[in-house]
Amino acid sequence: MDKKVVWQPMAVYQPSYDFGIYLDRTFAKEMLSAKVSEEKQSRMNKSALETLVRLEFNYPVPLSFHRNTGLVTEFNIGSGETWLTIDSGDKYSLLNQEDENKLIKYSSHNVDNASKAYALMALVDRWAEYPDILIE
C-alpha cells in the first residue's frame, strides 16, 4: 500500500479524554473488500494485544472486525468498557457505498485518562500501519 495519511485524531484538545479519529475512506474500502480468515484476524489481534501489554493493558481481543473482512469496527482496551468504535452512520454509508468522499469517523467511549486515549490510538496505528498482516 502507498504511504499516506490513513487516520487522524480529532478533538484531543477537549477537557475530557474522549476523542475521535477520521479514517481515510479509500483505506476503509480496501479493508472492507479484503476477505480475511479468522486465522489472520486472530494474528492481528495477537499483534494488537502485544501493543496493549506493552502499554499495561490486557484485553484478549482488542480488535472487532466486520465479518470476515479487514475492516476494524471497534478497538477495545477492556479497561472500564473503554473503546473506539465506527460511527453507525459512517459504517452504513461505507457498506452501502454512499458519500464516497466522506471520511469515516470513529468515536471513543469511557476514556478517562491520557493512557487509555494513547492505547486506543496505538491500536489504530498498529492496524493502519500493518495491514499486510491481514491481506497479502
Q: Assess whether pLDDT exceeds 60 at residue 130.
A: yes
**Amino acid at residue number 34:** A
Please state, in angstroms and rounded to a whole number, the distance separating the CA atoms of residues 28 and 103: 9
Q: Assess whether pLDDT exceeds 80 at residue 110.
A: yes
Helix count and strand count (H, E) for the chain? 4, 6
**Amino acid at residue number 58:** N
Residue 95 exposure: Cα atoms within 13 Å on the Cβ side: 13
Give pTM, 2 decimals: 0.90
**Predicted local distance difference test score (pLDDT) of residue 14:** 72
**Predicted local distance difference test score (pLDDT) of residue 99:** 81
CB 75 within 8 A of CB 63: yes
Q: Which long-range contacts (CB under 8 A, 24 or more apart) does 2-7 make?
A: 6/128, 7/124, 7/125, 7/128
Tens of pLDDT along 15-38?
Answer: 778 899 999 999 999 999 999 999
3-12, 20-29, 36-45, 82-91: least confident range = 3-12
**Predicted local distance difference test score (pLDDT) of residue 3:** 56
